[in-house]
Structure 1
């Protein structure tokens, strides 16, 4: 591995002193012959984010034609052709393509570096990051990113350039106590500090996780041994971060499996509780039905008893008369005649009365059984509710106890380097 390389620059529609403009930089990205003389065997770029280069060019021209600026006198006019309207970022990966072709692990590291670089650019520019392409026709693979300040009606790309904005803020302050030369020197220092911060941001987000050093050995006049030691340290940091990432992933996987198991158990418990509740409800319905049946039996028994008593009533006075005859005339022919005439009716009435009493006892016994069944069903329902509450509290406690395992964090501190310009 080596050190990071990331650079940004803004372009306008009008050519600069070196003949470069938006059209030229996009032609170089497409690998058009007149703009790719520095490449021995040009190859088409590979799109890894956003829209194609042709769509980017059309979008840029459309926004540039529509962009306006407000003059000091308050009038509005179209922006100048020499105004910077497109910001570009170049990031290079310090492993030769030949090595990457032979080593799948290194290719995977390249892919992760690309993902981190795009994520870092999106964190800075959001939807203004329109296109990112990959070039693989030079010694080292590298990315070109194109940022179009769509949210700015004046389409000023330099407002997205941290160094330019820092110097511009100093120059606009124009303290009277300082000369213009001294003010420009302070502005240049602010420019370098801002760009150093921009490089530090890239190193923290991309360089450290990718095992890249902040600066190369030549810029700091390091010996070969010192440079080798720094590379070893960078690789160690990368390896530690990868191990931490794997650990976090493993913890998340275990935590997810545990949570799934607990949820499955909870689902089973709830289903069982619902089944028990359903059975209890069915038992209550049956008990209510039996209670209504018992009440019906009792009512019919009461009606039958009333009917029997009503049938016996005509014979009560006659029975008293018979008793008086029996007492006074033990051997009377009248007694014999009455006994002969009413004996069968009295026997039938006695049997019916006995059956009524038995029916009443059975009804009362059935009512008692129904009352006990209802009491038992209430006990079952109460026990089921207590069991569901207990299992719910156990489930909540288990989830709370293990929730911290799902969000471990790994903090790595990057070594700071020296100054590095744009």
Structure 2
């Protein structure tokens, strides 16, 4: 592996030395008149966006419609020497022979190509119109073409060049106090170099470094061969480390996601179980309340029957008191019959007493039997009501036990959920430290092959 190669250039319709936009599109399309530097021109491969004929048609249509406003306020067509398109060349430092013969090299190239296109999209957004790959020169490389914003009526491509954009910003701001035109130009050139250096550094951090490429070659820094080989080995080791870190990060994220899904499943199961237990407890409470209401009602009914039986018993006792009083009156009347012989008096008294007693017993026998039946019935209903009340109390106690069991299960489930969340937090990997550029400075090496 070697160092990165990245270049940006602006083109106008008129061009310089015959290299205008028409020649640019002919060359990338591999038309014979513009491909004399390629021994065997091959078909370009479109990697992103539209193909070259569509790019040519879009550019020419927009350039013909572009208009500029003069200082006098008049509108005119833009000059033919105004830059209207930006071209970016990105080269991969491996020979086409290695590219064709080694599957590992092609895999590394495809990884570099995907990262390069993503970086171009990040830099230019929707202004990136086309990216094609050439495989017919010494090195595989990409050509990217960027058109100005559609909202720019003058179609100025200078804003697409990071160096020219920074230099124009300094020039437009004008001289500072105590600064002449020469010093202004020097400061503008410094801004140009700083912007280009930052542009190349950003590409190195986001594309070249993860792909094992160095920022600069050995020539500009006058490195020995041993130093250059050591730097390339370091770049390869860095790429390997980044690859391993990416694999580890992916595995950690997969593990954390699996634990997160497992925790969610456990929490969902616990919540479902808790809901079922709560529903069962609610049903048990409702059943216990219903049974308690029925027992209370039965108790009230039994109490009413018992009160009625007590009232009947009191009535019977009152009637017996009347019988005893009548018997006492008869005996008193018999004692006054002293004039009759003793035997006759005794017989008459005995007959009368027996007759009265039989009459009283006949009068109260049915009523006493009915009272005894009512008392027995009231006693049986009271026993049944007591049994129902005992069953309702047992059901209420069982419902309370279920509620206490549910509360304990819910507390344990919440503790398990909190423990799972703490475990996920502990296993979450730290954020990766941003990579640092391996080499400062700015430099462009000559094209490893004519582009």
- TM range, normalised to the smaller chain? 0.7 to 0.9
The offset of 1:367, in angstroms, is 2.8
Q: Residue 414 of structure 1 aligns with which residue? A: 437
Residue in 1 that maps onto 2:9: 9
Distance 1:364 1:81, change over 3 A: farther
**What is the CA deviation profile of residues 225-251 of structure 1, one whole-angstrom value per residue up to 9, with x for unaligned ones?**
222111111111111111111111121
Query: For 1:373-416, what per-residue CA distance to the aligned partner results, in whole angstroms no more than 9, with x for missing partners?
Result: 33542453355245424432442343244325334333333321
Query: Displacement of 1:159 after TM fit?
Result: 0.9
Q: State the match for 1:116 in structure 2.
A: 115
Q: Evaluate the alpha carbon distance shift between residue 297 and residue 41 of structure 1 in structure 2; reply closer, same or farther with a 3 A threshold.
A: farther
Structure-to-structure mapping, 1:166-185, within 5 angstroms = 166-172=166-172, 173-174=174-175, 180=181, 183-185=184-186
Contact 1:192 1:421 survives alignment (8 Å): no
3-state SS in 1 of match to 2:9: strand
Alignment RMSD: 3.2
Question: 1:78: how far off?
Answer: 4.5
CA distance in 2 between partners of 1:82 and 1:336 (Å)? 150
Q: Is the 8 A contact 1:211 1:234 kept in 2?
A: yes
What secondary structure sits across from 1:133 in the alignment? strand
Per-residue CA deviations over 1:204-245 (Å, capped at 9, x if unaligned) read: 111111100111223333322222111111111111111111
Report the equivalent of 2:219.
218
Aligned to 1:322: 323
Q: 2:163 maps to which residue?
A: 163
- Do the aligned partners of 2:215 and 2:439 also contact (CA within 8 Å) in 1? yes
**TM-fit CA distance, 1:151:** 5.8
Which residue of 1 is the match for residue 194 of structure 2? Answer: 193
Number of residue equivalences: 421
SS of 1:170's equivalent in the other structure is helix
- Secondary structure of the structure 1 residue equivalent to 2:85: strand
| Alignment TM-score, normalising by the size of structure 2 | 0.81
Report the Cα distance in structure 2 between the residues aligned to 1:30 and 1:228, rounded to whole angstroms: 37
Structure 1 residue 66 displacement after superposition: 4.8
Change (3 A) 1:212 1:352: same
Deviation track 1:148-199 (CA, whole Å, cap 9, x = no partner) reads 2326524322112111122223333245856655544443333222212211
- Structure 2, unaligned stretches of length 5 or more? 332-352, 446-451
Q: Work out whether residues 88 and 145 of structure 1, in 8 Å CA contact, stay in contact via their aligned partners in 2.
A: yes
Asked whether 1:347 is paired with 2:346, we answer: no
Which residues of structure 1 form unaligned runs of 5+?
none
Could you tell me how far 1:124 is from its partner in structure 2?
Answer: 1.9
User: Equivalent residue for 1:260?
Assistant: 261
State how far apart, in whole Å, the 2-side matches of 1:338 and 1:256 are.
98
Once the two structures are superposed, residues 296-338 of structure 1 have per-residue CA deviations (whole angstroms, 9 ceiling, x without a partner) of 4345445655776788898675444334346667953233234
| Contact kept in structure 2, 1:248 and 1:408, CA below 8 Å | no
- TM-score, normalization: structure 1? 0.86
Q: Distance in 2 between matches of 1:4 and 1:167?
A: 24
